[in-house]
Structure 1
Amino acid sequence: MDSLLIFSPRGRARFRAAAIAAVCAVLVMCGLPTPAAAAEPGPVPATVASAEQQDDEAPPLALALGDDGVVTGSAFDAAATVANTTDADFRASDLRVSIGDALADNEAIEAWLDGSGGTARTEIASIPVEEIAPGESSSVSAPVPTGNIPSGVYPVSAAYGGATAPITTRSIVIVTGDSPASVAMVVPITGPVAVAGLYSASTLGTLTGADGLLTAQLDAVDGTAAVLAIDPSIPASIRVLGSAAPATARAWLERLMSLENDRFALQFADADVSPQIAAGLDAPLAPTHLGFALEQATIDASDDPITLSSLTRIDDDAAPTVYWPSPGSATDDTVSTLVGGSAARVLVPASATDDGSAVLGDDALAYDDALSDALLDAARMSDAPTRARALTVAKAEIWLAAEQSGGPLLLALDRMGSDDLTTDDAGTEIVDGELDLSAEGLDEAIRAALDTPSTSHVGLDDVLAAGSGHVGVAATTEDPLREQAVVDYRAAEPGLAHIATALARPDHFLGQVRAEAQRLLSVSWATNPEGWLTRAEDFVALNADRAVAIDIQELQQPVQLLSAEAPMPVWIRNDLPYEAKVTVIATPDDPRLSIDRRTEIIANPDSVTRASIPIEARVGSGDVTVHYTLQSATGERIGPTRDVAVTVRADWERIAVVALAVIVAGLFGSGIFRQVRRRKRERVESHSDDDIRGESA
C-alpha cells in the first residue's frame, strides 16, 4: 500500500536517528521488539509515515525525511528503515527513489497520494540495503539529487525489492526556490455557547482545567505566530468574579495577556454580525453593562474604576477592528456597512468571493477556507500517523496556494467551541461529553501552516497592509431565523427598557439581557441549529415575561374597613432578580375615604413584597373604589392600574364600642349582683348555725 513520505535536505546523522525513531514506532505498533539501534539519540522528524503490509509476509517500511519534505537546494537526504517481521531472510536489494513532473494543483496532490493518479518514472537514487535476517531491521540513508528543477510540488515514490513482495510508497517533495511562501493564520479563542451571558465559575473551572477547551487553545497557540481572534466575554467572565474565579481561570487569563501573538477582538460572545446587519442595524450590538455579574469582592479589591472596557480588554494596546461573521453569511452590503469608510476589515471565506480566491482587500480579507478546514479536520484526528499524513498534504497545498496567490495567504481556523454546555439538577453549568479537539492536534495543525521551511509567517499588520481594492462577496448561506431573532430582540427592547425604569439599577438588568442576546447570536450555534431554535424561542418568551415582571397584585376579595383608621395592604410582585424602587399612587373615587396618595416601596427581587398604606374614613359608610397605580422613579406607569373595592363601615366601630361597653357593664353588674347575693347567703347561713348551737347548749 502507499504511504506518505516527506523529503528534505539535512545532515545524514539527523536522518539516520530520525529513521531509527520511526522504525521504533512502527515496531511498537506491530507489537515487535525494538532494535538496539533505536536507542541512539536523535530528533524525531515532524512527519514520519510507514508503509502498511501488502500481505501477511510483507514487512513494514519506514522512511523519515527532514525539513518536512522541503527542498531548498539541489538535493535532499532520504533515510529508510526496513524491519523484517517474517521468518525468512530478506535478500540484499536496493531502495529505488523516483520523481515525477510537478503536481499542478490540490486535486493532483490528492490523486497522487491516494494512488488514483500521477506518475514518478524518473529514478534519481538507488540506496543499497543489506540482507536482513528475520526479526532484524536495517537503516540506510543517502543524499538524493533533484537537479535544478523549478519550484513546485513533486511526486516521489520509493520501492524496496528485497522482500517476498515489493513494497512501494508514495510521497511528495516541495521545492521552494529562493524564498518561502508568506502565510498568516487566524485562530479563534472561543468557548461554549449554551450559556446565558457570561460564564459561571464552575464552567470556567472546567474550560480552563488541564483538559479544558480554553486550555487546549492556549496550549496550541503558545509559541506560534498565530493571530488570535478572542471572544471578550471570556476575560470579562473571569474579571467580574475576581477572587471568586477559579485559580485555573485567573492563571489562564494571565497567560493569555502575556502571549506576544497579534490579536483582535471578536464581537462580545462572538455574536454573528451578519444577521444583525441584515435585520437593519447600522452597527453590531455592543455590550452595555456587566455590573449584573460583578462580585462585591471584585469591586472592593479594585484600585481603579471598573469599566466595561477594562473588563473586556484583550490586549494592553489598541487592537485593530476586524469582524468575523459566520462563514459564508456576509454579503457586499454586510461588508460595506461594517467597514463604512473606516480602517476595519471583514474576514470572509474565499468560497464566498466573486472569483473564489483568497485575496486581501481594503474592506474584506478573504481566507482560504478549504485549506483552513483541512487543517482543522486533521487536528481533530486522534490517530497520530493519520493526522501526520493529512497535515503533510495540507502543507503542500498551502505552499502551492501561497505561491499562486502572489501575496500573503490568509488561513482562519473555524470556531472550536463546544455546544454541549448543559446544567445539572442543581442548576450548575457543566460541560457534557468529551472534546473532539486536542491541544496536540491543534498545535500540529498551526505549525504545519506557519512553522515549516516552506512558509514564512506574517503578522496581522502585514495582512492589513497588503489589502488593495474591493473584494466582492456574496452570501453562500442564509439564515432568516437568526435575522428574525435580532428583530424579535429589538422589538422587545422598548418593553424591557420600560420595566427597567422601576429597578434600582436598570443598567444591570439591561446589560444582562443584552449579553444574553449576543450569546444567542454566537457563531458557534451554527453547529446546533435545533438547540439554537429552542433557545431562541425561550428567549422571546422570557423577554415577554420580563416586560410585565413588576406590578401590583390584584386582590380577589373586597376590603372591609371597620375602623376610622387602618393600614391598607398592597402586594408588589417583582419577578426580576433585581431590587425595584417604585411608588404606589392611590386614588379613591369617593371623598369619604382619605388615603396617602404616594407611598414609596422597595420591592425585593424574585419575590412578592407586602406594603401597608394608611387610610382613614372621614364620614359615613359606603362602598369606595381605590385605584392603585405603580410608578417608576422616572414617572412611568408600571403595570396596569388595580382597582380595590373598599367597604367603609366606620360607624360600626362606635356601635361596637358602645355595645362592648354595655356588655362589659352588664358583665360587671352581673358580677356585683352575684357577689352581693353570695355574701347575703353566707350571712344567713352563719346566723342559722349560731341559733342551732345555742339551742344545743
Structure 2
Amino acid sequence: MSRRQGGLRRRAATVVALLAGLAAVVAPVAVADAATDPATAQVVEDTADDVPSPVPTLGLRSLSPAVAHPGDDLEIVVRVDNPTQAGLADATLEVAVAWQPIFSRSTLAAWVDGTTARPSQAQLEAPVDSVSPGAYRDFTLTLPVDELGLGARGPFRLAILLRDDGEVVAQLRTFLMWDPSPDDGAPVDDDETVRLSLLASLTGPPVDPADPLDTRRLAGVTAPGEPLARALAAVAEAETATGTRGALALAVDPALVATAAASGNAQISAWADRVTQVGDTTDVYPLPPYDPDLAALARSGLSVPALQAATTTPLPDGWTVPSTWGAPLAWPAGPAAPDLATLDAARATGFGTAVLTAGLSPTFGTATGLTTVPTEHGDVVALLADQPVSQALADATDVAPGSGSTLTTAEAVQRLLAETSVVSAQGAGAEPHLLAVLPRGWAPDVDALRTALEALSTSGWVRVDPLPALLSADEPTIERRPLDAATPQEGELHPDEVRRLDAARTSLDELATVAADPAELVAPLAPALAAPTSVAWRDALDARPAAVTAAVDVVNAARGSITVAAPDALLISAAGDLPVLVSNALSTDVTVTVVLRPDTPRLVVDATPTTVVPAHDQVRVNVPVRALGSGDVEVVVEVLTPAGTPAATPITLQLRVQAGWETAGTAAAAGVVGLLFVLGIWRTIRRGRSTRRTVDAAVADPVIHGDAGRS
C-alpha cells in the first residue's frame, strides 16, 4: 500500500442540455493553483454565466493522502466560491474532525445528508482574505494527523466550515480515512478485503422509428470526448488503474453497434469496430436489441411469444454478436427496484440474468451482490448494485449532461473509501463482493476514474475483480427485502401503446409470409417497432406518443405496398374469366392468392388462383367464374397471404350478369336461319307451278347408270 500525494484535477464543467434542444452553456472557469499558504492564495474571477447562488459554497478540490497513516500531514485544498453580490471580508475556514470513527453505513449516510451534528471543536482555523463577488479562491489547509489522536481504522467525520462575521455561511462534509498501520506497502490479505466489480452500459440515444438507421445522433455521442467514446475509453483506464484485466465490464445494446457498423460515417463505424473488439480485453454482455423497457412490456399483458418478439428484434444489416461476448443480460430501467412482474417477463423471454440497480437489499448489514429470484417462468440470477458505492463512483466520474452530481471528485472518492471501509470492518471473513453499476448514459472523466480506482486499489481493503468473479461467487444465505409483485414506475410506456406496437408487429409478421424468406420483410421494419419501447425514450416522454404512431405508420405503409384492382364488368356468358390486377411495390417477390367473394349464389367462383408477383411489378390474374342466373352481383376481391391473412386492402366491384344471353342468341340465330330456309323452299315450289313447264306425263323416265340405275 502506498501513500497518495498531490492535488486532484478539477473535473471539466459540463454542458447541461434539455431534450427539447435548448442548452445553457457554462463558460469555462479558470482554475487557480492551490496556494501553499492561505494568505497568498490566488484570486480568480468567475466568468460563469450561471445565475448567482444566494450563499457562498465550499468545494473539496483535493485531500491528500486519501488514506492517512501515522506521521502524515493531511493536506486539504478547498475552494471558496462567492457568487453573491457582496465580498467576503475577514472570513475564516475551520477544520473539525470527530474523535470517533463511523461503524455503520447508516451513520455514513446521516453524516452526508446533514442529519448528524458536526463536530463541536475545530482543530484548525485559517483566515480567508477578501473573496470578491462572483469570484472564487482555492486555499490549502494542512493538518498533522498525529495531533488528532485517532484510534481504530475507519472513516472519521470531517467538516470544513466557512464563517463570516462569526456566522457559518457554508459547510462541507467529507471523511478523513485513517489506517493506524504503517504505510509500508505490505500485500493485502485476500480474506480481509472487499471485492468490487464494475459494470457500465453502452446504450444510445432514442432511435427515430421513421428512420432507424439514421446515425446523425450517433455521430454526436461517439465522437472523441462524447459519452459513448468516453465509456469505451474507460475500459482501458480501469485496467490501468487497478491492474486487473476486465476491471470494468460492459453491457452493450447490440442494435447500437450494428447500426454504427452499417453507417457510412468513418468515425461512427470506427467506434463500432472498437466495441466489437473490446470483448478481447474485458467482459461484454449483450442487452436485448434496442434496450427495450422490460417493465413496460411486462405491464402490457403480452403473450410470451409477443414478449420474445419484442426482445429479439433483428439487427441491422444482419450484424451478429461477436463470439467473445458473454451471455445476454436483462437490465430493467429506472432508479427504483424492478418488480417481480418485470423479472418474470425477462425470464419468459430467455434472460436468466438481470442487473438490478436497486432492491433486494439485506435486512441487516451488507452482503454479496448476488441472489436468485424465483419467478413464474423460472429463476433469475440477480446482480445487485450497491447503491451508495455506485452513486459515489458516478459522482466522482460522470460528466454527462444532466448527471446531477453535486460532489467534487475528491469528495466522491472519500465517500467511496468510507463506504468500503465500513463494509470491510463488518466481520472477519464476512467481507462481501460488491457491484458498482454506472448509470445508462455514463460519460466518465477518465482522469477522475483513474483517481477513484487508484484510491480504492491502494486503500488496503478493496480489490477490484472482473464481473465473472461475482457471477461465480457463493450466494449468501440471508434475508432480503422482497420485491413488489407489480408496481409501475414513472416514465413507463403506457400499456395501450405497447399493445399498439404489438398489433403492428403481428400485422408485419402476417404480411411477411408472402415472401419466400419472411426475414427479408421483417428485418428492415422491425427496428421501427422496437424503437419506441427503448429505455432511451423515457427521457423524451412528450415526443414518445408520436414515435409510437410513426412506428405503426411504417408498418401500415408496408401493408399498402400490395394493391389490387379490377374493373366493373358485364358477364354475358354462362362461364368466363374475371381479370384482376395485383401490384407489388415491395423490394421482394411475393406469393399471393386472389379470392372473389360474390354476395349472391347466382355467381360461382371456380378457383382461387395463387401467383407470384415480382418485386416492383404487377401481374394480371384471371379468375374463372360461372353464372347460374342473371342480375347484378357485388363481388369483394381479396388478396391473401399464404397464411390466409389479407395482403392488400380488399376492393368491391359491380358485376352485371346476363346468364341466358349466349343461349338465347344462338336459338334466335338458328330460328332466323330456319325461317330463311322455309321461305326458300316456298319460293321454289311456287316457281315450279309455272305454265311453261311440262307435266309429268310428258317427261320420259331418266336412265340410271351404275348399279343403282333403273330403265
TM-score by structure 2 length? 0.61
Measured in 1, the distance between the counterparts of 2:391 and 2:127 equals 44
Deviation track 1:58-100 (CA, whole Å, cap 9, x = no partner) reads 9x99874334x223x4343323679999x9x99xx99977543
Measured in 1, the distance between the counterparts of 2:55 and 2:496 equals 59
Q: Evaluate the alpha carbon distance shift between residue 514 and residue 475 of structure 1 in structure 2; reply closer, same or farther with a 3 A threshold.
A: farther
Do residues 223 (structure 1) and 223 (structure 2) align?
no
Residue in 1 that maps onto 2:320? 312
Do residues 350 (structure 1) and 386 (structure 2) align?
no
What amino acid does structure 1 have at the position aligned with 2:283?
Answer: D
The DSSP-based 3-state class of the residue aligned with 1:100 is strand
Identical aligned residues as a percent: 17
Q: Evaluate the alpha carbon distance shift between residue 142 and residue 103 of structure 1 in structure 2; reply closer, same or farther with a 3 A threshold.
A: closer
Measured in 2, the distance between the counterparts of 1:331 and 1:391 equals 30
Written as runs of structure 1 = structure 2, the 5 A alignment for 1:65-144 is 65-67=63-65, 69-71=66-68, 73-79=69-75, 98-105=97-104, 108-109=107-108, 112=111, 117-120=116-119, 143-144=144-145
Whether the 8 Å contact between 1:183 and 1:409 is mirrored in structure 2 is: yes
Residue 522 of structure 1: CA displacement? Answer: 1.7
What amino acid does structure 2 have at the position aligned with 1:365?
Answer: L
Count of paired positions: 565
Q: Evaluate the alpha carbon distance shift between residue 180 and residue 76 of structure 1 in structure 2; reply closer, same or farther with a 3 A threshold.
A: farther
Whether the 8 Å contact between 1:553 and 1:572 is mirrored in structure 2 is: yes
Whether the 8 Å contact between 1:360 and 1:468 is mirrored in structure 2 is: yes
Residue in 1 that maps onto 2:536? 524
Q: Pick from 272, 289, 292 the counterpart of residue 253 of structure 1.
A: 272
Measured in 2, the distance between the counterparts of 1:585 and 1:160 equals 86
Whether the 8 Å contact between 1:184 and 1:450 is mirrored in structure 2 is: no
Deviation track 1:355-411 (CA, whole Å, cap 9, x = no partner) reads 496642143222133553455466248899953355245424542564358301222
Residue in 2 that maps onto 1:444? 448
Residue 509 of structure 1: CA displacement? Answer: 2.3
Residue in 1 that maps onto 2:671? none
Measured in 1, the distance between the counterparts of 2:530 and 2:603 equals 53
The DSSP-based 3-state class of the residue aligned with 2:272 is helix
Residue in 1 that maps onto 2:370? 360
Residue in 1 that maps onto 2:285? 264
Residue in 2 that maps onto 1:473? 483
What amino acid does structure 2 have at the position aligned with 1:233?
Answer: A
Q: Pick from 404, 410, 415 the counterpart of residue 435 of structure 2.
A: 410
Measured in 1, the distance between the counterparts of 2:128 and 2:612 equals 100
Whether the 8 Å contact between 1:367 and 1:411 is mirrored in structure 2 is: yes
Q: Pick from 3, 18, 34 the counterpart of residue 10 of structure 1.
A: 3
Measured in 1, the distance between the counterparts of 2:506 and 2:160 equals 72
Residue 462 of structure 1: CA displacement? Answer: 1.6
Deviation track 1:290-348 (CA, whole Å, cap 9, x = no partner) reads 4xx43xxxxxxxxxxxxx5xx231x4425134321224463346546755899932222
What amino acid does structure 1 have at the position aligned with 2:475?
Answer: S
Where does the alignment leave 5 or more consecutive residues of structure 2 unmatched?
14-27, 39-52, 181-187, 239-246, 373-380, 664-711
Written as runs of structure 1 = structure 2, the 5 A alignment for 1:21-420 is 64-67=62-65, 69-71=66-68, 73-79=69-75, 98-105=97-104, 108-109=107-108, 112=111, 117-120=116-119, 143-145=144-146, 149-156=151-158, 171-175=174-178, 181-196=194-209, 198-210=212-224, 212-224=226-238, 225-239=247-261, 241=262, 245-259=264-278, 260-277=281-298, 279-281=302-304, 284-285=308-309, 286-287=311-312, 289-290=314-315, 293-294=316-317, 311-313=319-321, 315-327=322-334, 328=336, 330-332=338-340, 334-335=342-343, 338=346, 344-351=352-359, 353=361, 355=363, 359-362=369-372, 363-369=381-387, 371-373=389-391, 375-376=393-394, 379-380=398-399, 386-388=407-409, 390-392=411-413, 394-396=415-417, 398-400=419-421, 402-403=423-424, 404=426, 406-416=431-441
The DSSP-based 3-state class of the residue aligned with 2:511 is helix
Q: Evaluate the alpha carbon distance shift between residue 537 and residue 384 of structure 1 in structure 2; reply closer, same or farther with a 3 A threshold.
A: closer
Measured in 2, the distance between the counterparts of 1:82 and 1:532 equals 44
Whether the 8 Å contact between 2:288 and 2:312 is mirrored in structure 1 is: no
The DSSP-based 3-state class of the residue aligned with 1:456 is strand
Q: Evaluate the alpha carbon distance shift between residue 181 and residue 229 of structure 1 in structure 2; reply closer, same or farther with a 3 A threshold.
A: same
Residue 192 of structure 1: CA displacement? Answer: 1.3
Measured in 1, the distance between the counterparts of 2:609 and 2:61 equals 92
The DSSP-based 3-state class of the residue aligned with 1:410 is strand
Do residues 535 (structure 1) and 547 (structure 2) align?
yes
Measured in 2, the distance between the counterparts of 1:336 and 1:189 equals 24
Measured in 1, the distance between the counterparts of 2:30 and 2:214 equals 47
Whether the 8 Å contact between 2:119 and 2:159 is mirrored in structure 1 is: yes
Residue 208 of structure 1: CA displacement? Answer: 2.1
Measured in 2, the distance between the counterparts of 1:29 and 1:592 equals 86
Measured in 2, the distance between the counterparts of 1:323 and 1:400 equals 31
Measured in 2, the distance between the counterparts of 1:208 and 1:368 equals 29
Whether the 8 Å contact between 1:352 and 1:476 is mirrored in structure 2 is: no
Whether the 8 Å contact between 1:9 and 1:75 is mirrored in structure 2 is: no
What amino acid does structure 1 have at the position aligned with 2:3?
Answer: R
Residue 502 of structure 1: CA displacement? Answer: 2.1
Residue 187 of structure 1: CA displacement? Answer: 0.8
Measured in 1, the distance between the counterparts of 2:314 and 2:55 equals 67
Where does the alignment leave 5 or more consecutive residues of structure 1 unmatched?
1-7, 39-52, 295-307, 417-436, 652-697
Residue 415 of structure 1: CA displacement? Answer: 1.8
Whether the 8 Å contact between 2:638 and 2:646 is mirrored in structure 1 is: yes
Task: Give the alignment's Cα RMSD to 1 decimal.
Answer: 5.9
What amino acid does structure 1 have at the position aligned with 2:386?
Answer: D
Residue in 2 that maps onto 1:429? none
Measured in 1, the distance between the counterparts of 2:502 and 2:75 equals 65
Measured in 1, the distance between the counterparts of 2:371 and 2:493 equals 30
Deviation track 1:510-533 (CA, whole Å, cap 9, x = no partner) reads 234543343332223333334334
Deviation track 1:507-560 (CA, whole Å, cap 9, x = no partner) reads 1322345433433322233333343344335545665675576341464x5479
Measured in 2, the distance between the counterparts of 1:594 and 1:54 equals 87
Q: Evaluate the alpha carbon distance shift between residue 97 and residue 264 of structure 1 in structure 2; reply closer, same or farther with a 3 A threshold.
A: same
Whether the 8 Å contact between 1:520 and 1:535 is mirrored in structure 2 is: yes
Whether the 8 Å contact between 1:232 and 1:267 is mirrored in structure 2 is: yes
Whether the 8 Å contact between 1:371 and 1:411 is mirrored in structure 2 is: yes
Measured in 2, the distance between the counterparts of 1:96 and 1:635 equals 80
Deviation track 1:390-444 (CA, whole Å, cap 9, x = no partner) reads 524542454256435830122212322xxxxxxxxxxxxxxxxxxxx7542x763
Residue in 1 that maps onto 2:666? none
The DSSP-based 3-state class of the residue aligned with 1:10 is coil
Q: Evaluate the alpha carbon distance shift between residue 503 and residue 207 of structure 1 in structure 2; reply closer, same or farther with a 3 A threshold.
A: farther
Measured in 2, the distance between the counterparts of 1:30 and 1:360 equals 45
Do residues 630 (structure 1) and 639 (structure 2) align?
yes
Measured in 1, the distance between the counterparts of 2:502 and 2:592 equals 26
Q: Evaluate the alpha carbon distance shift between residue 35 and residue 176 of structure 1 in structure 2; reply closer, same or farther with a 3 A threshold.
A: closer
Residue in 2 that maps onto 1:508? 520
The DSSP-based 3-state class of the residue aligned with 1:256 is helix
Measured in 2, the distance between the counterparts of 1:497 and 1:533 equals 23
Deviation track 1:595-623 (CA, whole Å, cap 9, x = no partner) reads 9966543252xxxx55445799999xx98
Measured in 2, the distance between the counterparts of 1:351 and 1:632 equals 48
Residue 199 of structure 1: CA displacement? Answer: 3.6
Residue 188 of structure 1: CA displacement? Answer: 1.0
